[in-house]
């Protein structure tokens, strides 16, 4: 039963270690970063200069001087004001353009690193993950890199630099009162923002988790579209999805109300600070301690500081979220597979294509043994079948061969090499598998076959298609080999999917072939055609067939009967029938089923 419960949100502290982890992804374009920082400094100098030009312009207009001189001075100051403002905008645009490339490349590198790392993790991780929630974590993490770089580097840091410069200018030119108000209001604003944001982090986390949960629920349902239809459970799925959306709606409402409280408090601090600054400046002008130009300068500085400071509340909240999202990505990167290559693991060198299971024991946990002392050998070119009741451990053999799990004891040998001592990439390259449930990519038949060897020539792809007896089916289609198979191959039948899988394995051309109940879900006619293709393929490789239907393995060189994880019998079809043991009972039971 799928759980509809939501994980509890936690108010975890910001993980500042994210920044050094990000650095390697950002330093690919050092020269761009340097020039962008120069543009940032130039733009900030232009910003600080604007209020002074306003001051001198106003004072010039009030000064008792000849009209022609006043016009020249004012015109020059107005031109200077416009030039500085234009320079500020241009430098900011150049800065953003230069740093945009840095951010985009960092997002690309980080996204690729996460993608590759996910493929390196073992099967147990992927069996427990939620695809929808993981996809949203990756999406939010990549977007978080862009937001963090753009606003932290070009908003937060420059804003605080400007605040301290302005405070120093006000202190030196107008007295301590103005500088104290500026600094005190900034300290109060930042402190309130941090406290309030930490308080409402719970609501933000709850909203994100509800969003991921609803998305996972939707994707899980859509991936199981056929199952939903088989059981007429559209309304059931709809109710559960609506419950997920209801949690999301409630979480959004709580988040919105907490945001209102945060914004209200920030607005109050800014309003009080600006009122105090303007009141002091107005009294000083009235007392003739400063000019109207000074009043304009102080007003401009105050507006110039508090406008981005007002924006700072939003930025801080988003940066905190961005850091959390990026941290989620690095948390994924920190996960380690339980199945890892040794540091000096050499590639597998296949010589005679002999495969040996040597006293193999395996269990998923200590209380549930799956395989017990399993020993057998597949000689080069042989076809060995493993049969038995469901749950006996047959398909586990395939998982062990691909090192999705490692044996608990014993060893699996290719020729005389323990597969645990070689690299997983080279090991898996030596095996081709046709699983019971073949999953195809939502692409053409041609591309799904070519997936077995992306570098193969068209001639080689067609040869694999013909060997798998797929040509008549392709010729019957309007779009031929370019026919789309649909998501997970839903547009083609089970038999055609299996033959596409066989063609794909043929194109890979490995020394070992594995067929994991490749015909168990097919009808008799499709099974015969697929078995013809399998028998043709098996001539050129050492082959292990996991089978439920005994009729598909009567010609195997050796048949192994697996019962509760142990080898109960072994021999050829005729030898096992003569023994009149488990195999004979299974054979007779299936004969009765086929005659009814």
CATH of the domain at 215: 1.20.1560.10
CATH number, domain containing residue 456 = 3.40.50.300
Shared domain check, 519 and 505: no
Same domain, residue pair 378 and 426? yes
Residue 476, classed as helix, strand or coil, is coil
Same domain, 523 and 461: no
> Does residue 460 sit within a domain?
yes
pLDDT in tens, the chain (596 residues): 344 333 333 445 566 677 777 777 777 777 888 888 888 888 888 888 888 888 888 877 776 655 556 577 778 878 888 888 898 889 888 888 888 788 888 888 888 888 887 777 766 666 666 666 677 777 777 777 877 777 777 777 788 888 888 888 888 888 888 899 989 988 898 888 878 877 777 777 788 888 888 888 888 888 888 788 877 888 888 888 888 888 888 888 888 888 888 888 888 888 888 889 889 988 888 888 888 888 888 888 888 887 777 666 667 767 777 787 787 778 777 777 777 878 888 888 888 888 999 999 988 877 778 888 989 999 888 889 998 887 778 888 888 888 888 888 999 998 888 888 888 888 888 888 888 777 788 888 888 888 888 888 889 889 888 887 788 888 888 888 888 887 766 777 777 888 888 888 888 888 888 888 776 656 666 667 667 767 776 676 788 988 887 888 888 889 999 888 888 889 988 898 988 888 888 888 877 766 65
Q: How many residues does the chain have?
A: 596
Residue 4: predicted pLDDT: 38
Cβ contacts of 506 within 8 Å, gap of 6 or more: 432, 452, 464, 467, 468, 537
Token pair of 257 as six digits: 């109300």
What is the reported pLDDT for 1? 38
Residue finishing a domain among 492, 509, 526: 509
Domain membership of residue 228 as a residue range: 18-334
Of 509, 527, 559, the residue at which a domain comes to its end is 509
418 touches 342 (CB < 8 A)? no
Number of domains within the chain: 3
Q: Is residue 133 part of a domain?
A: yes
The answer to whether position 236 is within a domain reads yes
Domain boundary among 303, 334, 365: 334
- Residue 8: inside a domain, yes or no? no
User: Do residue 397 and residue 320 come from a single domain?
Assistant: no
Would you state the structure tokens that stand for residue 205, as one six-digit string? 């986390």
> Which residue spans within 366-427 are E strands per DSSP?
368-378, 383-388, 409-414, 417-418
Burial bucket for residue 31 (CB in 10 Å: 0-12, 13-18, 19+): exposed
Do residue 158 and residue 223 come from a single domain? yes
Task: List alpha helices for 65-156, DSSP H.
Answer: 67-120, 123-128, 131-148
User: What is the residue whose two structure tokens read 């006619």?
Assistant: 525
488/517 same-domain check: no
What's this model's pTM, rounded to 2 decimal places?
A: 0.62
pLDDT the model gives residue 102 = 82
């Amino acid at each position: 039963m799928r759980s509809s419960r939501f994980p509890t949100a936690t108010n975890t502290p910001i993980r500042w270690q994210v920044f050094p982890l990000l650095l390697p992804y950002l330093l690919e374009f050092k020269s761009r970063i340097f020039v962008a920082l120069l543009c940032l400094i130039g733009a900030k100098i232009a910003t600080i200069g604007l209020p002074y030009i306003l001051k001198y312009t106003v004072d010039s207009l009030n000064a008792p001087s000849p009209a022609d001189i006043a016009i020249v001075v004012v015109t020059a100051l107005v031109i200077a004001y416009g030039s500085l403002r234009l320079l500020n905008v241009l430098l900011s645009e150049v800065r953003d353009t230069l740093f945009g490339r840095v951010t985009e490349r960092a997002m690309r590198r980080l996204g690729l690193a996460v993608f590759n790392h996910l493929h390196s993790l073992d099967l147990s991780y992927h069996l427990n993950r939620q695809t929808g929630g993981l996809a949203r974590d990756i999406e939010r993490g990549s977007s978080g890199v862009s937001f963090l770089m753009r606003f932290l580097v070009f908003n937060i840091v420059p804003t605080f630099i400007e605040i301290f410069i302005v405070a120093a200018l006000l202190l030196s030119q107008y007295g301590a009162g103005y500088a104290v108000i500026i600094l005190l209001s900034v300290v109060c604003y930042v402190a309130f923002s941090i406290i309030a944001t930490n308080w409402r982090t719970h609501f933000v986390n709850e909203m994100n988790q509800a969003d991921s949960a609803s998305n996972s629920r939707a994707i899980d349902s859509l991936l199981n579209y056929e199952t939903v239809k088989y059981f007429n459970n559209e309304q059931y799925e709809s109710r559960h999805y609506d419950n997920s959306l209801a949690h999301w709606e409630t979480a959004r409402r709580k988040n919105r109300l907490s945001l209102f409280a945060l914004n209200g408090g920030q607005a109050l601090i800014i309003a009080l600070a600006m009122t105090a600054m303007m009141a002091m400046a107005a009294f000083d002008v009235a007392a003739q301690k400063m000019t109207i130009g000074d009043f304009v300068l102080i007003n401009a500085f105050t507006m110039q500081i508090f406008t981005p400071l007002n924006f700072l509340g939003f930025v801080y909240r988003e940066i905190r979220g961005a850091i959390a999202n990026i941290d989620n990505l690095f948390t994924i990167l920190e996960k380690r597979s339980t199945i890892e290559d040794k540091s000096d693991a050499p590639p597998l060198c296949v010589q005679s294509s002999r495969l040996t299971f040597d006293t193999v024991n395996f269990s998923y946990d200590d209380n549930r043994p799956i395989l017990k002392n399993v020993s057998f050998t597949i000689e080069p070119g042989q076809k060995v079948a493993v049969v038995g009741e469901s749950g006996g451990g047959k398909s586990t053999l395939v998982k062990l061969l691909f090192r999705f799990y490692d044996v608990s004891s014993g060893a699996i040998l290719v020729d005389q090499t323990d597969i645990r001592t070689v690299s997983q990439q080279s090991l898996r390259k030596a095996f081709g598998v046709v699983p019971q449930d073949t999953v195809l990519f939502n692409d053409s038949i041609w591309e799904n076959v070519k997936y077995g060897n992306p570098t193969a020539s068209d001639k080689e792809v067609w040869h694999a298609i013909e060997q798998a007896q797929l040509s008549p089916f392709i010729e019957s289609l309007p779009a031929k080999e370019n026919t789309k198979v649909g998501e997970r191959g839903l547009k083609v039948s089970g038999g055609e999917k299996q033959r596409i899988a066989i063609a794909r394995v043929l194109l890979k051309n490995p020394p070992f072939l594995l067929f994991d109940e490749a015909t168990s879900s097919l009808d008799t006619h499709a099974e015969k055609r697929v078995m013809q293709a399998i028998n043709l393929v098996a001539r050129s490789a050492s082959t292990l067939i996991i089978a439920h239907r005994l009729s598909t393995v009567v010609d195997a060189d050796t048949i192994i009967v697996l019962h509760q994880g142990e080898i109960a019998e072994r021999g050829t079809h005729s030898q096992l029938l003569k023994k009149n043991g488990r195999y004979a009972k299974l054979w007779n039971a299936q004969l009765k089923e086929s005659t009814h």
